[in-house]
Amino acid sequence: MKNNYKKIMVALVTFLSPFAVLSQASAATGSQQLEITPTSLVASFDKGTTSTETITVINPGTVGNDIKIYATPFSVSGENYSQNFNPIPNAENVSNWFSFSKSIYHIDAGQTLEIPYTIKVPSSALAGGHYATIFVETNNSANINGVVIHDRLGSIAYLTVNGPVKNSGNFLSWSVPYLQRPDLTASVRVQNTGGVHFQSTLNATIQDVFGSTKYKFYTQHEILPQTIRQISPVWPKTPSFGLYKISGSIQFLDQTVKLPGKYVLVMSSFVRMIVLILILLIAVWIVVKIRFSGGKGSQMMSKLTNKKTVKKAAPKKKLTNKKTVKKSKK
């Protein structure tokens, strides 16, 4: 009996096993959380110098994390500044300037780690801007079927190698489409014509037609050498309908450019549909009114014409009578 039972179990397992493509695995762990500061490093160095910096990593979560730290190159493309963390062929790889005493750390729940790293600027480095990203990435071991999750947080290093370098830029444009759907968006374009990055500070204010401030936008961005950057202030959760005025200023290098006020009519798709329906209804009403009043008008005209005829006819009659009277008097 026992032997039969075992045989049945073996047969069942043998039969079912090919269908278990993905075996059972341990349950996923708790929330994986990381925080870093600062989000960018802006610093100047002389050629051939070495500097030690730190990045702070915080684990606000309830479980510990294994983390790794490393540097990658950093570059951008297009006016919307698409970020690129890959080496560019024949271009200097600034991530090679970075070194870490340890590349793997463990951070307990609630712990804060100060991770030091070294930047060694080669004596052959060109004067001007050089860029890299320092990444802190979770590196927890997971024995699962499916997707292992890594959270990666980057801090961009904007480095200036001291020396003679052109530092210049231009304001290019300030555009705000008059008719928009929410969210209200504007666009400022700034060009860096020099060899080193500079910071731009954009302030924009959105007011309603009565002058009441509805939203203030403030942002600071680095503009990399020989690039044009489009900065787009956005009013999140813009009301679906309204007439607003947006104005502001942008500062970079020694320039402050005033962004003149521009009116924006915000209409959501739903409001546009309502307005379209209203316009159609008004158009139909006008057509009907014209037709209706046109009929009345012709009736009135005919009535007026009749009256004139009567009026014209009457004096003739009177005159005739008068003449008749005069003639009779004579």
Partner 1 sequence: MIISRTFSRNINSAILVLSVLLSAVFISGASATVATSSTSTLITANLSSVLFLSSSNCGSACNLNFTPTGTGTYCTVYDNLSYFTNNSGGYNLYISDNSSSTAALIGASTIPSTATVSGGGSASALSSANTWGYSAYPDPYSLSSTNGVKFGSTVNASTNYPSGVTLGTLSGGLQTTATTGTSSCGTSSLTGSPTFAGIPLYSAPQVISYSASQVATTYSTVFYGIYANTAKPSGAYTTTVVYTIVAT
Alpha helices in 44-122, H assignment, sequence order: none
Minimum CB distance to partner 1, residue 118 (Å):
21
Of the listed pieces 57-65, 89-97, 122-130, 315-323, which binds partner 1 according to CB under 8 A?
57-65
Does 53 participate in binding partner 1 (rule CB under 8 A)?
no
Question: Which of 128, 169, 194, 233 is the binder for partner 1 (CB under 8 A)?
Answer: 233
213 binds partner 1 (CB under 8 A): no
Q: x/- binding map, residues 72-111, to partner 1, per CB under 8 A?
A: ---------x-x--x-------------------------
Give the amino acid at 177: P
Pick the stretch among 55-63, 121-129, 245-253, 263-271 that binds partner 1 (CB under 8 A).
55-63
Residue with tokens 């045989």: 7
Query: Contact region for partner 1 (CB under 8 A) — 117-125, 136-144, 259-267, 284-292?
Result: 136-144
* Nearest approach, Cβ of residue 1 and partner 1 (Å): 30
Q: Smaller CB distance to partner 1: residue 49 or 72?
A: 72
Q: What is the DSSP string of 263-281?
A: EEEEE-HHHHHHHHHHHHH
Q: Which residues contact 178 (CB under 8 A, 6 or more apart)?
A: 262, 263, 264, 265
Q: Pick the closest to residue 140 from 218, 64, 54, 220 (CA basis).
A: 64
- What are the distances in angstroms from CA 66 to CA 7, 17, 63, 113? 46, 35, 10, 12
Q: Phi and psi of 120, rounded to 5°? A: -115, 110
Burial 103-137 (b: 16+ CB within 10 A, else e): eebebeeeeebebebebebeeebebbbbbbbbbbb
Footprint of partner 1 on residues 141-180 (CB under 8 A)?
Answer: 142, 144-156
For position 40 contacting partner 1 by CB under 8 A, the verdict is yes
Residue 220 contacts partner 1 per CB under 8 A: yes
Residues engaged in binding partner 1 (CB under 8 A): 17-25, 27-40, 56, 60-61, 63, 81, 83, 86, 133, 135, 137-138, 140, 142, 144-156, 217-222, 231-234
